[in-house]
Amino acid sequence: MADSVIITCAITGAIHTPSMSPHLPVTPAEIAEQAIVAAEAGASILHLHARNPETGEPAPDPAVFRQFLPVIKQSTEAVVNITTGGGLGMSIEDRLAAAVDASPEMASLNMGSINFGTFPMLEKYSKFKYDWEREYLARTVDFIFPNTFKTIEYALKNLGDAHGTKFEFECYDVGHLYNLAYFVDKGLVKPPFFIQFVLGILGGIGADPENLAFLDRTAKKLFGDQYEWSVLGAGRHQMPLATQAALLGGNLRVGLEDSLYISRGELAVSNAQQVTKIRRIIEELGMQVASPAEARARLGLKGGDRVGF
């Protein structure tokens, strides 16, 4: 068990829409600013998506990412982790474009196809600023988030091998760990690797504490000491599961991508506010927050000077 906890912060994502919170970063300037302050608060890995600056719609365009990547790199030591999940409904080419263009130290890689239901949020939000928001949520009642063995292998080769990018393997259910084991056994994924348990997405495993313990146990059985793990809990499950992860010797992810709140019914005013809260919990438990240098060493990353931005 490592003696420090790696905090990942996921700045804006592609789940929440602008009308859900005035604090959700949309423009490149807002994304850069919130990422930098989150790093200053203790996040060692910054997981980044981009959005259309005018409408806030998830955007795959490498040119939009390039408006904030250099600013973040110049202002922090934090590891940049670019999404390959993109926005719901994007093609696999679009999903990979920004990471292939930027050659980051890390990128996300989703380890199995799932139903990805965000439509229940329509029960909570009725007024939207932009036309796209309602349909973006409604369409997920009949949406499968595609991550096949073919597309996973394509990313491992064209981003992992080709760019020296290492992955945040997003596992939404226990079967995804066995998909990962297939690629480890094939030699396409080499240790040390980084598993992100994703709990509480409608379509994936539920956010029960027993499920995190189950995933932790299953990963240990499959991978021994070849990996580091982290957990992201969606919505109200974010802080409880992050706290449980720290106690279990894991790492954790916070950020407005996966929860807009700082506590029950209270919107977080920034990503940094969530980082500060979980950092306080980690330190109250007598543990420390890992630095970007520690994260790079433990995850075997290529270094911030070997990226393409």
> Taking CA 18 as the corner, what is the angle to CA 17 and CA 24, rounded to the nearest 5 degrees?
100
The structure tokens listed for 5 are 């906890």
Output the smallest distance, CB 168 to ligand KMH, in A: 8
Is the torsion defined by CA of 71, 96, 185, 181 positive or negative? positive
Residue 108 binds ligand KMH, judged by CB under 6 A: yes
Q: State which of residues 79, 245, 257, 268 lies at the interface with ligand KMH (CB under 6 A).
A: 257
| Residue 91: how many other CB atoms lie within 10 Å | 11
The structure tokens listed for 208 are 């029960």
Of 83 and 147, the one with the shorter C-beta distance to Zn ion is 83
Residue 15 interacts with which of ligand KMH, Zn ion, none, CB < 5 to 8 Å by class = ligand KMH
Tell me whether the omega of the peptide bond preceding residue 18 falls within 30 degrees of 0, making it cis. no
Output the smallest distance, CB 179 to Zn ion, in A: 18
Residue 113 interacts with which of Zn ion, ligand KMH, none, CB < 5 to 8 Å by class = none
CA 58 to chain centre: 15
Report the distance separating Cα 147 and Cα 90, nearest Å: 12
Residue 201 interacts with which of Zn ion, ligand KMH, none, CB < 5 to 8 Å by class = ligand KMH
Residue 79 binds ligand KMH, judged by CB under 6 A: no
Give the x-and-dash track for 260-289 against ligand KMH (CB under 6 A). ------------------------------
**Segment contacting ligand KMH by CB under 6 A, of 30-38, 51-59, 83-91, 239-247:** 83-91
| Alpha-carbon distance values, 22 to 26, 153, 255 (Å) | 10, 38, 15
Output the smallest distance, CB 284 to Zn ion, in A: 28
- Residue 214 has, within 13 A of its CA and on its CB side, a CA count of 14
Of 36 and 254, the one with the shorter C-beta distance to ligand KMH is 254
Residue 78 interacts with which of ligand KMH, Zn ion, none, CB < 5 to 8 Å by class = none
Residue 110 binds ligand KMH, judged by CB under 6 A: yes
Q: State which of residues 12, 83, 243, 244 lies at the interface with Zn ion (CB under 5 A).
A: 83
Q: Over 264-286, what HEC string results?
A: CCEECCCHHHHHHHHHHHHHHCC
Give the x-and-dash track for 187-226 against ligand KMH (CB under 6 A). -----------x--x-------------------------
**Residue 48 φ then ψ, to 5°:** -125, 135
Residue tagged 């919107």 (tokens): 267
> Taking CA 252 as the corner, what is the angle to CA 294 and CA 125, rounded to the nearest 5 degrees?
140
Residue 258 interacts with which of Zn ion, ligand KMH, none, CB < 5 to 8 Å by class = ligand KMH
Q: State which of residues 76, 84, 238, 244 lies at the interface with ligand KMH (CB under 6 A).
A: 84
Helix locations, 224-270, DSSP H: 238-247
Residues at the contact surface with Zn ion, assessed by CB under 5 A: 13, 83, 85
Residues at the contact surface with ligand KMH, assessed by CB under 6 A: 10, 13, 15, 83-85, 108, 110, 170, 198, 201, 257-258
